[in-house]
Amino acid sequence: MGKTTVGFIGLGLMGGSLSIALKKLPREYYFLGLDHNQTHCEEALKLGLVDEIVNSLEALENCDLIILSIPVDGIIAVLQKLQNISPQCTVIDLGSTKEKISLSIPSNIRKNVVTAHPMTGTEKFGPKAALPDLYRDKVVVLCDLEKSGKAQKDVAKTLFSDIGMNIVCMDAKEHDRHAAFISHMPHALSYALANSVMKQEARESIVALAGGGFKDMSRIAKSSPTMWEDIFRQNKDNVLEAMHAFQSELKKCQKMVENDEWEALNTWMKDANTLHDIL
């Protein structure tokens, strides 16, 4: 069996970490990389994340597998241009939203594409952020699989299983609503928390007191604003629904504190504790 040629479009945390994970497998791969950021290209080569840098989508058309690990708006734009790939090629996108991406795929390559969301990541980005075990023991959601070809479904499931991920299959619309609550809205809250502190006159003194709780909640506010702007735009309605739900609960807390309703507050917090019974 010859080498499997993989084209990575996007050489940051997700693509770089996937490259490292695949290199651990017994199968032989040859990795091509494409990124609009020249520094990322140079770093990816230096770190051994790719074997070769290419300068156009056309250079990836003969790949066996193409991985789209770029912001979600970019994924949609690239999918419109991948018109000359072979029928055997598998294209996997790793975007954090799924419905608009799934609906945007041109009909002539729809069977080539598997829309996936690995539920993992960090607040860091770029090739230097790549981690060897970013994907291991994490969940990957595969969406609208009935629209993908059998061979492509098999490739995607085998790939994610081989790197140690747990596969969940779901409708893209359902995915986006769930992701708004457990991923997208929490990022908005983290940005809001960071801004609320940074706008205080004594922000340095406040941050000097920061312990684990604050650092945990504000950590993801270091995530790429460009990437998250795209996500909020694509999943606007679901993100707003999640924000309204959160605001409702925060208002309950505010009123209980204002009215000295400490017993009710204690019960409210105990209800929140039950989340960890199912996590």
| Model confidence, pTM | 0.88
Per-residue pLDDT, 1: 54
For residue 261, give both structure tokens. Answer: 């309703």
Percent of the chain with pLDDT over 70: 99
For residue 89, give both structure tokens. Answer: 């090629």
Per-residue pLDDT, 120: 93
The bridge status of strand 90-93 relative to strand 113-118 is: parallel
The amino acid occupying position 120 is T
pLDDT in tens, 57-105: 999 999 999 999 999 999 999 999 998 999 999 999 999 999 999 999 9
pLDDT in tens, 130-158: 999 999 999 999 999 999 999 999 999 99
Can you name the residues that pair with 32 across neighbouring β-strands? 7, 52
- 140 to each of 95, 224, 253, how far by Cα in Å? 11, 21, 34
* Greater pLDDT, 153 or 276: 153
Per-residue pLDDT, 246: 95
Per-residue pLDDT, 209: 72
Lay out the sheet containing 65-68: strands in order across.
52-53, 29-34, 4-9, 65-68, 90-93, 113-118, 139-143, 166-170
CA 71, CA 75: separation in Å to the nearest integer? 6
Q: Which domains does the chain have, with CATH numbers?
A: 4-170 (3.40.50.720), 175-277 (1.10.3660.10)
For residue 197, give both structure tokens. Answer: 């502190």
Per-residue pLDDT, 7: 98
pLDDT higher than threshold 80 for residue 23: yes
Q: Which residue is associated with the tokens 């059998």?
A: 150
Q: Which residue is associated with the tokens 């708004």?
A: 180
Q: Range with the lowest mean pLDDT among 23-37, 129-143, 188-202, 263-277?
A: 188-202
The amino acid occupying position 135 is Y
DSSP states along 64-113: SEEEE-S-HHHHHHHHTT--S--TT-EEEE--S--HHHHHHS-GGGGGGE
pLDDT in tens, 213-269: 778 888 888 888 988 999 999 999 999 999 999 999 999 999 999 999 999 999 999
